[in-house]
Amino acid sequence: MTAELVRGQNHPLPVARLEIRVSAGTPVLAGATLSDEQGRVHGAEWVAHPGAPRLPGVEVPRQAAADHRLAVDLAALPEAVHRVQVLLALPTGTGGPTAFASVTAPFTAVTGPAGAEVVSYSITGLGAESAVIALELYRRQGAWKVRAVGQGYAGGLADLLGDQGLPDARQLADVIQTAAAGGAARSVAPAPQTVAVRDEGPRRVRDEGPGSPGTSHSPCGPVDYTHPRRQRTAPPAPAPPPAVPGARPGEPPQPLAGDATGWSMEERLYNQIWGMFEDLARTAAAYRSAVDFADSRLEREIDGALSDPRGRTGPAGAEARRQAQEKRDGLTAQAREVLDRDLGQLLAESRVVEPALAPAFARWDHPVWHGYRAPTRAPLALRLGDLHLPVRPELRIPMLVRLPLERGLWVDSGRTGSGRTGPGAGPDSVSRAGLDSGALRARALDTAVALAVRLLAVHPAGEFTVQVIDPAGSGAGALAPLTASGVLDAPPAAGAKGVAAVLAQLVQRVDLVQMAVRGDAADALPPELDTAEQLLIVNDFPHGFDDRALTQLRYLADEGPSVGVHLLLVADRDDAREFGPVLDPLWRSLLRITPVPDDHLADPWVGHAWTYEPSLPPPGSAVLRTVLTQIAAARRA
């Protein structure tokens, strides 16, 4: 069982060999100080840091990173050591955050040798501090315990070390910062996913893995704001979960970014977002069910009261209808009160989660893009846009898909809309957006370009490339950010010959990589073969495609994702009618998104029609060009 500590709490350590995992959502450097029974650190040689990562019984990472693992062997510590304090600090001179107030609350977990979590601690309440003592392992009467400390220092690492009694604290702090800056970033691989999503044409199907929330909870159950289903284990049975600071008695706790399960902040935010999606679906379904029940009860009571023909008219009949209507109104008002409470809490959680998101999960207007730098590893998932329901359109849940992409994407450049009516579900989303056919096609290609830039931005430099097919050259304006920045290895292919050449090259790549994988002969691949993941953008499909090209494209859609070749089609199905049903398998294999808000995503879990809104930069924003400049510079370097 895992104990979730709050500041000041302690917990016994059952084993001597431990791993301390740290996730901060932004690069931090990690270290440890050893001290005697009186808490004195005898010198710099008693400090484990990136420049001197190994001490007897302790090993810390060599560089700043968002996720860390520190190894501790309590039995191997010198006899004079009675305390081990784990410290975290923000790197200096990197242009990153300068205070913990502007980053997600760091999360720490102490695990045993088999990976079983012993305790966890989220360090909340930090403000101007740039260094913090996270945990303390201490020996008391021959037994070791861990204490949640959370002591921050506005003066940074120098003040923290000075408080430990080190005479040359500032010089040592400079040494540690310099050593951390010289290392290459390292991160913890995320755990396997528990929830995934796929879109079968116009319907959205939710796949659930072992332990998924949907397998054990009724769709219409109440929202539990502490999210116990998002945690691997619960706190020990004898002790209730610690209260969250800021929550009043009887009220739900204040939301916290990253309160879901996971070893990294990225994984925890991913699971939290899916928890928010499930909570919104559940509470909206519960309200709809309550209203349906109230309506059916109203009908039954009126039918029962008026079953006697003599009572259908006059004061008795009117009174029966009035009482039945009052009961119905009372039930629906009660249901609405619960719905508004749940939606208010989810809105509060959304306001906390959105600022904590990294580029892969963040909207284009998020400040995180202002300091964008090419990452050192690919993310867990990617934001394709937002989802919302008519009950509260302003509550937007990020629509995330796992990476690498398992399916291609189709941006619908034709008339969209499901024919529904009501808020957020108009009969024709093209009319709702005020776009004619030409403007809609341009918006569709803009959406595809924004997705391509996001995919390039969240992968390490050189590990993801983009190719473009624009048979008639109609997308030159929308493609200008990609072509002008130099991130494309070749200009967009035009004409039937250009289409044939690009498709032939990608089909050959898929064949070669598949043969190498099946034969376990990766070293036999031609040296000139680009093994980076590939994204092929096809504009105005199927213009410029003949039967052979269509067959090759279907082959890439089916076989490409498994070896790193992905499709992004900008197309209108009406334009492909002449090909008949031959293209139906291709359409079904792609995840359909739209360039305008549209309620085409059906959720069979609880029967909602979710409105999807694409992820586009704000009008007039230069964020795409700024990010592409950084991507191009990283590729050249």
Q: Identify the pLDDT of residue 415.
A: 67
| Whether residue 259 has pLDDT greater than 60 | yes
Say how many C-beta atoms besides its own lie within 10 A of residue 584's C-beta. 13
Q: Identify the pLDDT of residue 1.
A: 58
C-alpha span between 147 and 136 (Å, rounded): 5
CA angle 364, 368, 373 (to 5 degrees): 105
DSSP 106: P
Q: Does domain 406-416+430-612 have CATH number 3.40.50?
A: yes
Of 260-264, 371-375, 551-555, least confident by mean pLDDT is 260-264
Question: Per-residue pLDDT averaged across 557-570, rounded?
Answer: 94
Q: Tell me which residue of 105, 136, 138 sits closest to 122, measured CA to CA.
A: 105
Question: Per-residue pLDDT averaged across 166-188, rounded?
Answer: 75
Cα separation values, 18 from 39, 137, 167, 354, Å = 21, 11, 30, 33
Common-topology check for domains 3-181 and 406-416+430-612: no
Terminal CA-to-CA distance of the chain, rounded, Å? 47
Question: Per-residue pLDDT averaged across 516-521, rounded?
Answer: 82
Q: Which residues contact 141 (CB under 8 A, 6 or more apart)?
A: none
396-415: pLDDT as tens digits: 999 999 999 999 999 999 86
Question: Per-residue pLDDT averaged across 14-22, rounded?
Answer: 92
Residue ranges covered by each domain of the chain: 3-181, 216-238+255-362, 406-416+430-612
C-alpha span between 38 and 43 (Å, rounded): 14
Identify whether 404 is preceded by a cis peptide bond (ω within 30 of 0): yes
145 compared with 421, residue with greater pLDDT: 145
Q: Identify the pLDDT of residue 277.
A: 92
Q: Identify the pLDDT of residue 228.
A: 36
Question: Per-residue pLDDT averaged across 565-580, rounded?
Answer: 89
Q: Identify the pLDDT of residue 566.
A: 96
Using 50, 70 and 90 to split pLDDT, how confident is the model at 433? Answer: low
468-484: pLDDT as tens digits: 999 999 999 999 999 99
Q: Identify the pLDDT of residue 309.
A: 67
Mean pLDDT of the chain: 82
Contact at 8 Å (CB) between 490 and 467?
yes
Q: Identify the pLDDT of residue 492.
A: 95
| Whether residue 390 has pLDDT greater than 60 | yes
Provide the CATH topology of domain 3-181.
Answer: Lipoxygenase-1 (2.60.60)
| Whether residue 341 has pLDDT greater than 50 | yes
Q: Identify the pLDDT of residue 8.
A: 84
Question: Per-residue pLDDT averaged across 71-85, rounded?
Answer: 93
Q: Identify the pLDDT of residue 196.
A: 32
DSSP 264: S
Highest mean pLDDT: which of 88-92, 201-205, 425-429? 88-92
Q: Identify the pLDDT of residue 527.
A: 83
Of 452-456, 534-538, 586-590, least confident by mean pLDDT is 586-590
| Whether residue 320 has pLDDT greater than 90 | no
